[in-house]
Amino acid sequence: MIAHLARDTGNRGARTSRRRLHAFAIAALVVAAGGAGMLAQQPPAARDLHDMVLEAPNSRTIDKGDQSHIDEGKRVLVRNDAEWTALWQQHAPDRPRPAIDFSKEMVVGLFMGSRPTAGFSTAVISATAGNGVLMVRYSETFPAPGRVSAQVLTFPYDLVAIPKASVTDVKFEKVLK
């Protein structure tokens, strides 16, 4: 195929042929470097052209830290003000509730629950909406084995606002670091 592309005659044809040859060479390098599997590594929902990726700069952190009043691990999607009020009452009843415009946004909440030491955290990495499903990818961080950590109970959490999407189901996928 490379020899066929290089045989084109004429100035314009030669330039087109060189471009095709360069594109072919780049594609071959990507495949040789393992890039062919890049699409296969994405979750199936991320390959759909009708999907909407809801990540930075389209997301914003509402609250993040290690002192929630929620002591059981849970992951939630908040779609309206009533749900938001109930969650905030559980999470931080002694602090003012941040305003959310639920006509434009939804809130993803990650709560690790009670942990015995400092050094734990959680974070929303991305949220992808497609085919009626919201796929939230998140990470959890743990103290390194053998390291000294403050001996204090922590309750790590992350609350993130994302653009509103029409979804009927939510799935959370933990990403290993």
For residues 110 and 101, what is the distance between their CA atoms, to the nearest angstrom? 20
For residues 162 and 104, what is the distance between their CA atoms, to the nearest angstrom? 9
Domain boundaries, given as residue ranges, for the chain: 2-41, 47-174
Q: Show pLDDT as tens, one digit a residue, over the chain (177 residues).
A: 333 333 333 444 444 344 444 444 444 433 344 443 333 334 444 434 345 555 445 789 999 999 999 999 999 999 999 999 999 999 999 999 999 999 999 999 999 999 999 999 999 999 999 999 999 999 999 999 999 999 999 999 999 999 999 999 999 999 987
DSSP-assigned letter for residue 70: -
Q: What is the pTM of this model?
A: 0.69
Please give the distance of CA 125 from its chain centroid, rounded to a whole number. Answer: 3
Listed residue (161, 164, 54, 59) closest to 100, CA to CA = 161
Query: Rounded to 5 degrees, what are φ and ψ at 37?
Result: -85, 0
Does a cis peptide bond (omega within 30 degrees of 0) precede residue 57? yes
